[in-house]
Amino acid sequence: MLAFVLFPPQRLSVNADGREITVVSRQDDIVRLLDSAGVSRDPGDVLVKSNSYVAVERAVPVLVSVDGRLLSWRSREPTVGEVLDEMGVHVTPHDALILNGREVAASEPVPAPVSAALRFSPEQASPAPAALDIQVKRAVPLTLVEDGLAISLQSSRVTISEVLRDTGVQLGPADIVFPDPATPVSAGMHVEIAHADEVTLRIGSSSRTIYTHQQTLEAALAEAGLTFGPDDRVEPALSVAVANGMQARVVRVTGREIEEREDVEHVTVFRPDESLSGTETRRVIGKDGVRVTVFKIVIEDGVEIEKTLAREVYNPEPVDTVIYYAPSALESTGINPANLKVASTMRMYGTWYNAASSGRPATHPSYGITASGVPVTKGIVAVDPAVIPLGTRLYIPGYGFAVAGDTGGGIKGNMIDLGYPDGVAVDWKTGWTDVFILSQ
C-alpha cells in the first residue's frame, strides 16, 4: 500500500516502428520501461521522452564497400553523403556512389528501413530489414587526346566508352578510339580519339557521305572505292586537302563520235593545153565525192554539253572535170584565164549570127555593133538579159569562150546566139547545147 501511494502508476504512450501503445507503469527508468513494454533497441537508436510520451527513433543499418573494404554501420543521417561523412569515408565529386544498385548523388536521401526491426513483443517478431548497400567507386586520373587536343580528367567509370559518354565525346562512323572503347579504365590511361572528316559527295543526281582520315580528296575517294575515267572531272581538284564538312562533286565525262556524210558535186575547171589550137578542147570527166565530217560529242552526267569538229575527210575525194583549151581561144574575149571555174550549167538552144545577118546594110552606122557597143565577132554572144546578165563569162562546147555582150529581138528565154565575124566560115550547127556559166 505504501509503495502504491509513494509511486503511483504512470500512463505513457510509446511510439516505435510506426505503432503506438499505451503503457501503465511505475518505472521511472525509460530503458526498463521499454523492456517492460517489450520494445527492443539496437545500436544507434535514439530514445525521446516527454512527460507522457516515449518515442524510439531507429537508426538505418548500412553496408559500405569502399577501397576494397566492407564497412558496417547504423546511421540516422538523412543523406548518403552525410552517412559517409559520419563513417569517416571521404568522397570527391568525381567518385561514383551506388545506393542499392543505383547510382546516386551525395545529396540522395537515405530511405527508411524496409521493415520494422523492433518488436513490441516476441509474438510480433519480424525479420530484420536489409541493410542499405552503398558502394564507393573511386575516380582515377586519365587523359583524353581528341584530335590532338589533350584533356586531363578524373572518372569513376568502368570502361572507356562510359568515360566518353560522360564527357560528351560523340563518336561518328569511322572515328578511331585507342584503346578500344570496351577497355576497362585504369589510372594514368591515355585515350586517343581521332574523328573522321565528313565529306558529302555528289555523283550525277545522287549524293553520298563518306568518312575519312585521308589527307587529300584523291586519297579519300580512292579509299571509298571510287574510280575515274580519263575524262572524268572532280570538283574541287583531287589535290585539295580534306576538310570536315566539305562538299565535292564527281562529273562523269564520256564522249562519242558521230559521223555526218554529205555528197559533194564535182566542179568543172578549165586549163590551157598548148597542144590545142583554135576552138579545140579536150575534156576529162571527173566524179562526185562524199564529205565525211566527224564530230566529238562530250557528255557530262548523261547530258550532252558540247559538240566540236574532230576531223573532216573526203571519202571518196571529188575529182574535177577538166576542160583543156587552146590558150589562143581567150585572146579575143578578154576573159582572165586564171582560176576559171564553172559556176553553173544551162541547157540552151544555140544559133549563130554575124554582122551581115543582122538586117542592116554595111553602110549603116551601127552595122555589126552589139548592145554592149563592141563589134560582133567570135566570142560575143547574144542572150536574153533576164536569163543571163550582160557581161557574163561563158563557155560553149564547140564554140569556145564567150562574153554575153549582145541582145536580139528573137532571143528569148533559154536561147543563145553565137557571134561570128563576116567572111568567116561558120562551124556551128544550130541545136541544143550545154552552156557553162563561168566564175572567176
Q: Are 220 and 299 in a shared domain?
A: no
- What is the pLDDT at residue 42? 67
**Contact indicator for 97, 134 with CB cutoff of 8 Å:** yes
- Whether a cis peptide bond, with omega within 30° of 0, leads into 236 is yes
- What is the pLDDT at residue 26? 55
In a domain, 110, yes or no: yes
Name residue, grid cell 585515350. Answer: 191
- What is the pLDDT at residue 131? 77
- What is the pLDDT at residue 98? 94
Q: Residue 82 sits in a domain of what CATH number?
A: 3.10.20.90
Q: How far apart are CA 150 and CA 170, in angstroms?
A: 16
- Whether a cis peptide bond, with omega within 30° of 0, leads into 179 is yes
Q: Are 132 and 146 in a shared domain?
A: no
Q: Residue 146 sits in a domain of what CATH number?
A: 3.10.20
Domain end among 152, 179, 194: 194
* Domain total in the chain: 5
Q: Residue 276 sits in a domain of what CATH number?
A: 2.20.230.10
Domain end among 137, 166, 181: 137
Q: Are 126 and 170 in a shared domain?
A: no
Q: How far apart are the first and last CA of the chain?
A: 169
Q: Are 66 and 130 in a shared domain?
A: yes
In a domain, 367, yes or no: yes
- What is the pLDDT at residue 301? 86
Q: Are 16 and 96 in a shared domain?
A: yes
329: DSSP letter: G
In a domain, 130, yes or no: yes
The dihedral through the CA atoms of 334, 339, 340, 345 has a sign that is negative
- What is the pLDDT at residue 127? 47
- What is the pLDDT at residue 279? 74
Closest CA to 226 of 250, 258, 246, 248: 250
Q: Are 29 and 123 in a shared domain?
A: yes
Domain end among 122, 137, 152: 137
In a domain, 181, yes or no: yes
- What is the pLDDT at residue 280? 81
* pTM given for the model: 0.52
Q: Are 390 and 413 in a shared domain?
A: yes
How many residues are there in the chain?
440
- What is the pLDDT at residue 118? 38
Q: Are 16 and 132 in a shared domain?
A: yes
- What is the pLDDT at residue 216? 96
Half-sphere exposure of 332 (CA within 13 A, CB side): 20
- What is the pLDDT at residue 37? 60
330: DSSP letter: G
Characterize 65-95 residue by residue with b for buried, 16 or more Cβ atoms within 10 angstroms of its Cβ, and e for exposed: ebeeeebebbbebeebbbbbeebebebeeeb
In a domain, 4, yes or no: no
Cell numbers for 324: 583543156
- What is the pLDDT at residue 318? 95
CB atoms within 10 A of CB 130: 12
Which residues are 73's β-sheet partners?
62
**Contacts (Cβ under 8 Å, ≥6 apart) of 313:** 291, 292, 294
Q: Are 429 and 359 in a shared domain?
A: yes
Positions of the chain with pLDDT under 70: 1-42, 44, 46-56, 112-130, 331-334, 337-338, 440
Q: Are 56 and 106 in a shared domain?
A: yes
Q: Are 347 and 235 in a shared domain?
A: no
In a domain, 348, yes or no: yes
Greatest distance between any 2 Cα atoms in the chain: 203
Integer Rg of the chain from CA: 62
Domain that holds residue 224: 198-251
**Contact indicator for 305, 298 with CB cutoff of 8 Å:** yes
DSSP states of 164-230 as a string?
A: HHHTTPPP-TT-EEES-TTSBP-TTEEEEEEPPEEEEEEETTEEEEEEE--SBHHHHHHHTT----T
Residue type, 302: G
Q: Strands, E, within 275-399: which ranges?
A: 281-284, 289-300, 303-314, 321-325, 341-353, 380-383, 393-396
Q: How far apart are CA 195 and CA 86, in angstroms?
A: 46
In a domain, 326, yes or no: no
In a domain, 1, yes or no: no
Q: Are 87 and 204 in a shared domain?
A: no
